[in-house]
Structure 1
C-alpha cells in the first residue's frame, strides 16, 4: 500500500495526475478523497472500466460512480451543530461562516447543513460567508473583517479546523471570548485546547481513523468479489466545552491525535 497526496488541498491538477498514474500502473485498487466532486468523475469511471475498484472517502464524487463512498453525513452533522449553537445564543443575533473551499463535497455540504439548521431560527440573521482556502491566517483576517463590519455578530461557524482556528484567533485578538459563540469541525491540538478554554464552544468531530480503516476493508471485499454498500455514513460526535473531557470525547479526539489521553 502506498499513500500519495498533493502538497495542498487545493492542488487538483496534482491529484488528477496522481490518480491517472495509479490507473496507468494498474494498481489493485484506489482509495480517494476527491478534491473536486465533478472533476474526478471521469477518472474514477475510467479506472473502474480498467477493472480497478475505487473507494471514495470523506470527500466523494458527484454523481457517486465509485464502488463505495464512506464519509460523515456532513449536511446532517452541520445541521446538528447549527441547531445546538442557535439554542446557545437563544435563537437571536447575527452569524457568519468561514469555509475552506466551495470545490470539495465537504466544503459545499457543511455550509449547506449549517444553513438548514439556521432556518429554524429566524431571529438569527446571516451576514455572509468567506473562503479561507485552508489558511488559518486568512480565516482570522476574514473573521476580524466580519466582526468589525457587523459588531452584533454573536455566532460564527468554521467549516473545518483551519477555519475555526482562524475565527478563534480573531475572537482572542479582539477580546470577544464569551461574547461570540464559535462552532466548527474537526480537531487538532490547537482546536482541542481552544475547546477546553471555551474560546471554541463546540465542534463536530469525525472518526477519520475508522473511516480509513473501513475504506481498506471495503476495498479488500470488492477485490474478493463481495457486495459492498454504495454509501456508508460514518459516525461523528458533537464535542463541546462541557463534554470535551468525557471518555467519548477523548476517544473521538484520539482519532485525530495519536496517543491522546485527555
Structure 2
C-alpha cells in the first residue's frame, strides 16, 4: 500500500507543471577532427547548462566516415538516448539510421547538413543554396572580369555541400566565369587533403583565376594554407588570383586579415548547437517546432575582418 502511494506521488510530481524531467540529447557531427563542429558542441553544452535538465553529449566519427557515423547512431539507439541532432554525412546511409532511431522512439533532428526525405522532425542550420549563391556573388563582386574557377567540396554524399556547389554555379551563370573540368574536388572534410587539392588545381590549370572551397577545410590547416597562399601572394594582391572561402573560424579570420584570402562567407555553428537543444526539448514537451530553422550568414572581407576578430 505504501509503495503504491509513493508511486502515485512520484507520478503526480512528474505530471506537475514545475517538474523538469531530465534528458540526454546527442550532437553527432560529420567528423570530430573538423573544428567547425567544435562550435556546435560549445553552443550545445552552453545551452544545456542554462536549461539545467539536459545533458549534451557530443560524439561522432573522428574523421569523415559515413559508415562510422551510422554505427555511432546505432549505439545511441541501443542506449535509448532521448534525442539526436545529426549533421548528415551521407544522405542515403543516414536516412536509414534516422528511420531506425525514430522507430525506437528517439526524437531526431538534423543540423548543418540535412536529410530532407528522412523522418527527421526539423533541420537547423544554413540555407545551403543561399550559402553557395553568396559565395558566387562575392567572387563576382571581387572579379567581374571573370576567368577560370574551381571548387573544393567535402564528401560527395553530403546534400548540404551539393546545394552549395549548385548555388555557386547559379550565381556565376551567365557571367564571364567558367568552371574547370574535375570541379569540384572532394577532400572528405580532410584539411590537409583540401590544401593539397588547391595546390594540384593550381598546377593543373596555370591560368586558374579563383578557387572557392564550399567549406573551410583548407583553412582549417592554417600553416598549410598559408604556405599555399604565400606562393600566390603576388597574384592575390594584384587581383589575378582570388580565394573566396566558406566559414569564419578564428584561424580563417586571421588568415584573411593577413591577406592570404579575399573573402569569407560564414555560418553560425554555435547558434546551431544552442537551437538544437531548444528544439529537441520543445519536441519532447509536445510543442510544435518549425521544420526548417535557418541560422543566417556573415560576409567578411578586408573591410570588416578586424571588427569580426574583436
User: Structure 2-normalised TM-score?
Assistant: 0.74
Q: In the superposition, relative to structure 1, how do residues 60 and 26 fare at CA in structure 2: closer, same or farther (>3 Å)?
A: same
The two structures, once aligned, show a CA RMSD in angstroms of: 1.9
Q: Taking structure 1 as reference, are residues 134 and 47 closer, same or farther at Cα in structure 2, changes over 3 Å only? A: closer
Match in the other structure for 1:154:
209
Distance 2:196 2:101 in 1: 41
Are the equivalent residues in 2 in contact too, given 1:156–1:182 (CA < 8 A)? yes
1:253 alignment partner in structure 2: none
Question: Could you report, residue by residue, the CA deviation over 1:178-215 in whole angstroms, capped at 9, with x for unpaired residues?
Answer: 23110111133331111112221111111111111011
Equivalent position of 2:229 in the other structure: 171
Question: 1:100 Cα shift?
Answer: 1.9
Structure 2 residues not aligned, in runs of 5+? 1-54
How big is the shift at 1:174? 4.0
Higher helix proportion: 2
- State which of 29, 46, 54 in structure 1 corresponds to 2:108: 54
Q: Distance in 2 between matches of 1:147 and 1:28?
A: 48
Does 2:103 correspond to 1:44? no
Per-residue Cα deviation, 1:39-84 (whole angstroms, up to 9, x for no partner): 1112212222222111111011141420111110111111112112
Residues 1:93 and 2:139 are matched in the alignment: no
Aligned to 2:68: 14
Instruction: Compare CA radii of gyration and give the structure with the larger one.
Output: 2
Matched positions, count: 247
| 1:135 is the counterpart of 2:190 | yes
- Tell me the equivalent position of 2:279: 218
| Alpha-carbon distance between aligned partners in 2 of 1:138 and 1:152, rounded to the nearest angstrom | 22
* Inter-CA distance 219–68: structure 2 relative to 1 (3 Å threshold): same
Match of 2:270 among 186, 204, 209: 209
Rounded Cα–Cα distance in structure 2 between residues aligned with 1:159 and 1:81 = 8
- Does the Cα contact within 8 Å between 2:138 and 2:244 map onto a contact in 1? no
Q: Could you tell me which residue of structure 2 aligns to residue 255 of structure 1?
A: none
Structure-2 change in CA distance of 1:244 and 1:69 (3 Å): same
1:185 aligned residue: 246
Of 167-176 and 199-208, more deviation after overlay is shown by 167-176
1:23 aligns with 2:77: yes
1:168 Cα shift?
Answer: 5.5
The corresponding residue for 1:256 is none
